[in-house]
Amino acid sequence: MTGGIIVSIYVFVLAVFAGIELITRVPPLLHTPLMSGANAISGITLVGALIMAGEGGSGFSTILGFLAIIFATINVVGGFLVTDRMLEMFKKEEKKK
Amino acid sequence: MSILISIFYLIAISLFIFGLKFLSSPGTARRGNLFSVLAMFIAVVVTLFDRHIIDYKFIIAGILLGSIIGVIAARKVKMTAMPQMVAAFNAFGGIASAMVVLSQYFRFPQSIDLNNAITIPLTLFIGMVTFTGSIIAFAKLQDLIKSAPLVFPAHRAVNFLLHLLILVLIVLFAANAGATRLDLLVVLFILSGIVGITLVIPIGGADMPVVIALLNSYSGLAAAASGFVVNNYVLIVSGALVGASGLILTDIMCKAMNRSLWNVLFGAVGLGQGKQETAGKKQVIRYTPVDAVVILENAQSVIIVPGYGLAVAQAQYALQDVVEMLRKKGTTVQYAIHPVAGRMPGHMNVLLAEANVPYDLLKDMDEINEEFQSTDVVLVAGANDVINPAAREKGNALSGMPILNVDEAQSIIIIKRSLSPGFAGVDNPLFYDQKTMMVFGDAKDMLLKISGILKKE
């Protein structure tokens, strides 16, 4: 298990570096959609929630998983939709003539 | 089977990364968002094949309910309310992560290994701080509670003590791996929630962009931390990406406001800054919209500086009307956007895009600051601190803050209700400059008058 957590930490740190590289290239123009999009991505907790809610029990653990699914799904669905709504508004000038 | 799942998770991770990469240009950004949607879809569907999942009724019900609320929220929200929306979503992300790790704990409270004994309390802490902190941020942005900084006696000492207690609880829990220490977890749950409140409540409305960015980062970290608990790399990587994104935005916002993160979190600005120098004897040149039109019509190049006051007055449309008419006459018009022009990073751009301003006209501070000196007229609407040249001098609240070099232009038109200073409480010498025309009044009214006069001619 200790080996497992070390690998996880490696993955985490490398992903943070990748994130920094990617995000610094996003222009200030798009920082709001970036935030709402990132927000939706953080709803990835949904994956964890699915396992917790789907184990077949009906105890406290399952209820917590069920609530987690609701919250994470709001985050995912709402976040991606509102990001798309915003990005749709960003239009380049139509070339007339 | 589990190898197959891992491969699909890897595909999802890659798609998230491509999704963020495509966000680097407005032309590809929408595609980037779709990549992220696809990534999330793959991650969720693959998870449903996990051998631990045998009962789908709670899953289907939860996803349905969450989707309905999500769709309604995303459709209904006004663009001015985006900061609140992001704050609310940060809260949901935080509480979801906290619930996932609690759920994990209640599955096998007897057999918590060392890994989980460390990561469960840690995730619970981050998740709960994100949750209650975001709720307070939401309430402040939505004007449910006063947005002014709220400080109680010994605030810092209490915060420090709370953090210390939490650290002790986490260590105690980890040290007792194998034993069921639900009591510790409950206390941790409550204390972490309180910390979220005490962290955000002393922060004033003007600093909210920093706070939302920071909480955005926390919500990512909470997701990553819960990934450590359930041993899932998708969670770890996606959470890390969001965490990094939030941190960078926090840093950008801090720099744009000339504040350190420490200062934002523990400085409680706005208190005791009430004394504003009154601009008693200085001369102000007062103008009417008619005068403004004359100046604008004779300009070859115009730069517009919009501030949040403009958006509050819902004057973006009137402004863009004016811009369109000037451009038809052959005038070059651009918008100069300061990083803190809105209530969250990039907010002003969204508000202007909504008013049909093509994004090629929107220039950020670094892009446009060189151009002011060769510009005939700058039209300022609803902005103050971000154009205050006092920032270049030493010894005031704005000193060192990056500003738009509006004072370098040939002439300046400022639409403003009064001469009152901005959030920072520093008088703006630009108001009394020879080349400045002050047009006093509501931004929307004045812009409508200007566009009305332009239309007639």
Mean pLDDT across the stretch B203-226? 91
pLDDT at B272: 42
pLDDT tens digits along B95-108: 999 999 999 888 87
The one-letter amino acid code at B191 reads: L
Specify the pLDDT at position B1. Answer: 52
Chain B nearest CA to A6, separation (Å): 10
Q: So what's the pLDDT on residue B421?
A: 79
In a domain, A72, yes or no: yes
Residue type, B97: S
Q: What is the pLDDT of residues B259-300, one digit of tens each?
A: 888 888 776 544 444 444 444 557 787 888 898 999 999 999
Mean pLDDT in residue range A89-95: 83
| pLDDT over threshold 80, residue B148 | no
Q: What is the mean pLDDT of residues A8-24?
A: 95
In a domain, A6, yes or no: yes
Q: What is the pLDDT of residue B151?
A: 78
pLDDT tops 80 at residue A57: no
Closest CA to B457 of B258, B314, B267, B322: B322
Q: List all residues of chain B from 86 to 105 with a beta carbon under 8 Å from chain A.
A: 86, 89-90, 92-93, 95-97, 99-100, 102-104
- pLDDT band for B241, please (50, 70, 90 cuts): very high
**pLDDT for B89-140, tens place per residue?**
999 999 999 999 999 888 877 777 888 888 999 999 999 999 999 999 999 9
Cβ atoms B102, A52 nearer than 8 A = no
**pTM of the prediction?**
0.90
Q: Give yes or no for B351 touching A (CB within 8 A).
A: no
Do A41 and B96 count as a contact with CB atoms less than 8 A apart?
Answer: no
> Which residue do the tokens 């060192």 mark?
B400
Interface confidence: ipTM more than 0.85: yes
Structural domain includes residue A57: yes
- Across B353-358, average pLDDT: 93
- Which of chain B's residues have a Cβ under 8 Å away from the Cβ of A77? 66-67, 70-71, 74
- pLDDT tens-digit map of B421-449: 777 778 889 998 888 999 998 889 999 99
Nearest chain A residue to B221, by CA: A42
- Reading the block at residue B44, the tokens are 């969720």
> B356 and A93 in contact by Cβ < 8 A?
no
Domains of chain B and any CATH numbers:
77-266 (no CATH), 286-456 (3.40.50.1220)
Band (A95; pLDDT cuts 50, 70, 90): low
What integer pLDDT is reported at residue A64 of this predicted model? 94
pLDDT band at B178 (very low <50, low <70, confident <90, very high): low
- Taking the Cβ of residue B236 and every Cβ of chain A, the question of whether any pair is shorter than 8 Å is answered with yes
Q: Which residues contact B286 (CB under 8 A, 6 or more apart)?
A: B438, B440
The answer to whether position A64 is within a domain reads yes
Interchain pair B246, A38: CB under 8 A: yes
Share of chain B above pLDDT 70, in %: 95
Of all residues in chain A, the percent with pLDDT exceeding 90 is 77
Number of domains in chain A: 1
B83: helix, coil or strand?
A: helix
Are B264 and B414 in contact by the 8 Å Cβ rule? The answer is no
Find the domain containing A32 and state its range.
Answer: 2-89
pLDDT at A85 over 90: yes
Q: Is the dihedral of CA B320, B321, B327, B332 positive or negative?
A: negative
> In the predicted model, what is the mean pLDDT of chain A?
90
Task: Please write the tens of the pLDDT for every residue from B69-85.
Answer: 999 999 999 999 999 99
For residue B1, count CB atoms less than 10 angstroms from its CB and return exposed for 0-12, middle for 13-18, buried for 19 or more: exposed
Lowest mean pLDDT among B68-82, B89-103, B211-225, B387-401: B387-401
Cβ within 8 Å, pair B52-A55: yes
Q: Please indicate, yes or no, if residue A96 is contained in any of the structural domains.
A: no
Kindly list the residues from chain A whose CB atom is less than 8 angstroms away from the CB atom of residue B99: 49, 64-65, 67-68, 71
For residue B424, what pLDDT is reported? Answer: 73
Catalytically annotated residues of B: 385
**Residue B154 DSSP symbol:** T
**Would the pLDDT of A2 be above 70?**
no
Question: pLDDT band at A3, cuts 50/70/90?
Answer: low
Residue B208 — very low, low, confident or very high, per pLDDT cuts 50/70/90? confident
Which tens digits make up the pLDDT trace of B15-73?
A: 999 999 999 999 999 999 999 999 999 999 999 998 888 889 999 999 999 999 999 99
Q: CB of B93 within 8 A of CB of A39? A: yes
Q: Is B75 on the interface with A (CB under 8 A)?
A: yes
Residue A97 lies in a domain: no
Nearest chain B residue (CA) to A52: B103
> What residues of chain B lie within 8 A of the CB of A28, using their CB?
252, 337, 339, 345-346, 349, 364-365
- A56 and chain B: CB distance < 8 Å anywhere? yes
Mean pLDDT over the full length of chain B: 89
Rounded percentage of chain B residues whose pLDDT exceeds 90? 61
In this structure, is residue A73 part of a structural domain? yes
- pLDDT of B273 reads 44
Least confident of A53-62, B190-199, B345-354: A53-62
- Residue B210 has a CB neighbour count (10 Å cut-off) of 26
B440 DSSP β-pair partners: B416
Give CA–CA dist B282/A87, Å, rounded.
46
Within-domain flag for A62: yes
Give the model's pLDDT for residue B275: 43
For residue B293, give both structure tokens. 């039109």
For residue B274, the model assigns a pLDDT of 42
